[in-house]
Structure 1
Amino acid sequence: MTTLDEQRIGALLQSAPVPEPQVDVGRAVRDGRRRRRRRRVGGIAAVTALAGLGVVGAVRLDGAADRPAPAPPALAASPAGTTPAAPDSPVTCGASWLPQPIGGPVAVANGVDPTGRYIVGDIGTGQEDGRVVLWTDGRADVLPADARHAAAVNAGGVVVGTTGDGTGWVYRDGKLRSLTTPPGYDTVLVHAVNGRGDIAGTASGARDSHRAVLWSADRPQEYRLLGQPGSAATGITDDGTVVGAMGQLPYRWTPQGAGAALAVPDGYPRASVDSAHGEWAVGSVPDVRQGGAVSMRPVRWNLRTGVVSLLPFPGAAGIAGNGDLLVGDGAPLVVSPDGTSRRLPGRPEVRAAGAGTYTANGISDDGLTVVGSVYENQVHRPLVWRCRR
């Protein structure tokens, strides 16, 4: 076990709430990874270390809050109360299994490219041994064993991620290559790749030093440091706009490298931004303490106008290029910028109420392809929802 793995496990044990009697192993692994990733970004840990604890219930927040939170906008009181799409909505969705080329009780689809063609995930036991799988038009391929913890895939099928020892990697045209770790830093954490192959992540070093980094998929040995020391990059759009953090502030950089802070919702001291697609970005603010965990309320930014919106959901799994928000746990929900929403259906053969717990992790730019998994009988299976208008 590497030192980084020990740090990851330690962080997970310190921040994880007491599990329910029936433990959802796959969800714990995914949430733990999110917590561990955020803890490795040093100076922004105060904002994001507990972001993985944002979803405390399947779809709604349960339990009493220790302190009141600023009132949310009048979009809806909860996912269940969100204005539903009209019954004659032209969008219809269906779920189907993704093939599993190798065995393992925890098989999860974690991300999808903007077009919906490429899906990336992993299959394993849930004990940091997952093999990365790339589904292309439904066909499954297992990436080389050195590729672990995939973070994203772009419209060209380029996959990026970070190994357990903190080495970034890129899989392109059937070849796996390592990303250079900038001198003065020990590890990197890769978060995103855009359509032209720009890769965004964060380099970390001694005494919690960290800095945003950009690489190129076709020149992984080259890199460009972004912002000042204390910066972090968590997302990148196709035009090269980067989102992340500067200290404890959510931040963005233009394709030319000019940086500026993103707005923080009124009543909150800080916010973190997790990802961006098109002109939209999504993140969270620390909300209420429930038991030993701080829940996170999602926020959405329009990168063109700068407007930030506080959202009345327990968590957000992703943002589409058209602004659709993916609320991912329990009974996944897609919420459009105008507040209308649609529930994603279960598998056709699983019609019994409460049969299986569905988790959605990624959404395409048009909002019509969503990927995730279903947990049932102590096993996770990878799933894709395809919608059409």
Structure 2
Amino acid sequence: MTSDEKHFAELLRQLDDGPDRPARVDLATAVREARRRRRNRRTLTASVAGLATLAAVAVPLAVRAGQPAEQGPPMAAGTPTSASTPPPAGPTTCTVELLPIPGGYGKSVVTGGDPTGRYLLGRSYPNDGFSHPVIIWDGDHAQEVRLPGTDQQLVDVSPSGIAVGAAWTGGRPQPYVVRSGRATRLPGVTAGEARAISDDGRIVGARQDGDRQLPVLWSGPDSPAVDLPVPGPTWQGSAVGVDSDGTVVGKVQNGPHGRFQAAVWRSGGKPELLPLPQVTGGTATDFVPRSFKGGWITGTTLGGEGGADRKDPAAHGPGQSHAVRYHLARGEYVPLPAELIVDSGNGQGWVVGSINFTDAAFVTDAGLVRLPDLDGRTGRYGAIAVSLSDDGRVIGGQLDTRPGGRDAVMRAVRWRCH
């Protein structure tokens, strides 16, 4: 499978909502694991062979806020954030180091980090089974945390060290919070997952309601989950980010096969649907937000040139995926480099991800930085950046330390930038 095929297959997995069951991770490719931080778990119905014809080379973005007919004008500017003042240009030089792994396990990945850069999250692979010890790095100190069940993962952590995530128990995903090394179930949800935590301890995610996911908010780790309203009775979705002012961002869709759009809840109010951006060849068909920090929404669009249909991609010509960011206060999309596969962003509007899964990448107002491998090179398959501090000085991710198909060994790493 080519890297383009893997990219497109993973994008379709990301667009298909609703966790059904845990999935065995193929560490040799590392592509699925790199997307696991905010991926969805339903099995992809289209075959990889069919996707091969769809994987198109990314084209330069021509992004601006669109205005779908059913939505009316773009939403008004919201609460001012730190992003409303010009940020510094950002670091341009980075060095990389391996992160210590408790137990000496050879395989490990980073799954999240906090805005200060003090904490990183990850998990290790003591065997090829479904159970994975999760790890919290506090600087250079690594603490292994045992969550019940299988497919354990922590995805976000606050500056005070409170981490959130999920694990599978009894055939269902369960939301968890970890405080001082102790994992406890988040209350009020029989099945679901925690996706993000704000600086002041608000937590968002999703709960399962039959075959649907519904977005939820916990006002604190000990508070019961509260449903966030969706646009209508057939809609579903998941919350992916929350700021300390109470603003929540998530993805929603009308029915199990509906197009994905970004939704914004302000202080628990009704959802506001963001306009879809204009991309090369027309209006994007989907926008999937991946992170929300400091007023910046970072995500991926699908559609535009070629008019690909997400529900039946093989029935149409080549489609395009685009990494984009949306400034909530200004109500506008801001372009990102065309070749970027985005993973997450920070409160400055800077983002991390990869270039065709061969270079870990960091984008600031100063431009794109290809993050170095352990030997100082770039261009090695499997290098992906996952988390980014607000000052851009600490980036978490993983590198393939021994390229070569099934012999590949993914290792959790930290880049320090200046």
TM-score, normalization by structure 2: 0.70
Is 1:278 aligned to residue 333 of structure 2? no
The residue identity in structure 2 corresponding to 1:237 is: D
Change over 3 Å in CA distance of 1:357–1:284 after alignment to 2: closer
Separation in structure 1 between the aligned mates of residue 216 and residue 368 of structure 2, nearest angstrom? 36
User: Where in structure 2 are the equivalents of 1:291-310 lying within 5 Å?
Assistant: 296-310=321-335
Secondary structure of 1:29's counterpart equals helix
The residue identity in structure 1 corresponding to 2:61 is: P
Separation in structure 2 between the aligned mates of residue 30 and residue 70 of structure 1, nearest angstrom? 23
The residue identity in structure 1 corresponding to 2:212 is: S
Separation in structure 1 between the aligned mates of residue 384 and residue 239 of structure 2, nearest angstrom? 25
Aligned length: 336
Separation in structure 2 between the aligned mates of residue 308 and residue 89 of structure 1, nearest angstrom? 20
Secondary structure of 2:103's counterpart equals coil
Separation in structure 2 between the aligned mates of residue 67 and residue 358 of structure 1, nearest angstrom? 21
TM-score, normalization by structure 1: 0.75
Q: Is the 8 A contact 1:273 1:283 kept in 2?
A: yes
Separation in structure 1 between the aligned mates of residue 107 and residue 192 of structure 2, nearest angstrom? 26
Match of 1:174 in 2: 181
The residue identity in structure 2 corresponding to 1:205 is: D
The residue identity in structure 2 corresponding to 1:176 is: A
Separation in structure 1 between the aligned mates of residue 35 and residue 252 of structure 2, nearest angstrom? 24
Instruction: Choose which of 140, 153, 167 in structure 2 pairs with 1:138.
Output: 140
The residue identity in structure 2 corresponding to 1:341 is: L
Alpha-carbon offset, residue 5 of structure 1? 8.7
Is 1:226 aligned to residue 215 of structure 2? no
Q: Is the 8 A contact 1:361 1:370 kept in 2?
A: yes
Match of 1:381 in 2: 411
Alpha-carbon offset, residue 151 of structure 1? 1.4
Q: Is the 8 A contact 1:263 1:306 kept in 2?
A: no
Match of 1:235 in 2: 241
Change over 3 Å in CA distance of 1:161–1:70 after alignment to 2: same
Match of 1:325 in 2: 351
The residue identity in structure 1 corresponding to 2:218 is: W
Match of 1:210 in 2: 213
Separation in structure 1 between the aligned mates of residue 186 and residue 63 of structure 2, nearest angstrom? 45
Alpha-carbon offset, residue 119 of structure 1? 0.6
Is 1:73 aligned to residue 62 of structure 2? yes
User: Where in structure 2 are the equivalents of 1:348-363 lying within 5 Å?
Assistant: 350-351=375-376, 357-363=382-388
The residue identity in structure 1 corresponding to 2:133 is: R
Alpha-carbon offset, residue 103 of structure 1? 3.3
Match of 1:97 in 2: 98
Is 1:196 aligned to residue 226 of structure 2? no
Alpha-carbon offset, residue 126 of structure 1? 5.4
Q: Is the 8 A contact 2:372 2:378 kept in 1?
A: no
Separation in structure 1 between the aligned mates of residue 206 and residue 301 of structure 2, nearest angstrom? 21
Q: Mark the runs of 5 or more structure 1 residues left unpaired by the alignment.
A: 13-18, 41-48, 57-62, 76-87
The Cα offsets for residues 280-329 of structure 1, whole Å up to 9 and x where unpaired, read as 01111124779979763222110111112353134101101111121333
Q: Is the 8 A contact 2:197 2:204 kept in 1?
A: yes
Separation in structure 1 between the aligned mates of residue 38 and residue 238 of structure 2, nearest angstrom? 15
User: Where in structure 2 are the equivalents of 1:43-54 lying within 5 Å?
Assistant: none
Separation in structure 2 between the aligned mates of residue 376 and residue 386 of structure 1, nearest angstrom? 18
Q: Is the 8 A contact 1:161 1:169 kept in 2?
A: yes
Change over 3 Å in CA distance of 1:294–1:176 after alignment to 2: farther
Q: Is the 8 A contact 2:147 2:167 kept in 1?
A: no
Is 1:253 aligned to residue 265 of structure 2? yes
Alpha-carbon offset, residue 96 of structure 1? 1.2
Secondary structure of 1:28's counterpart equals helix
Separation in structure 1 between the aligned mates of residue 29 and residue 207 of structure 2, nearest angstrom? 29
Instruction: Choose which of 223, 242, 262 in structure 1 pairs with 2:274.
Output: 262
Q: Mark the runs of 5 or more structure 2 residues left unpaired by the alignment.
A: 1-17, 65-88, 254-259, 403-407
Secondary structure of 2:148's counterpart equals coil
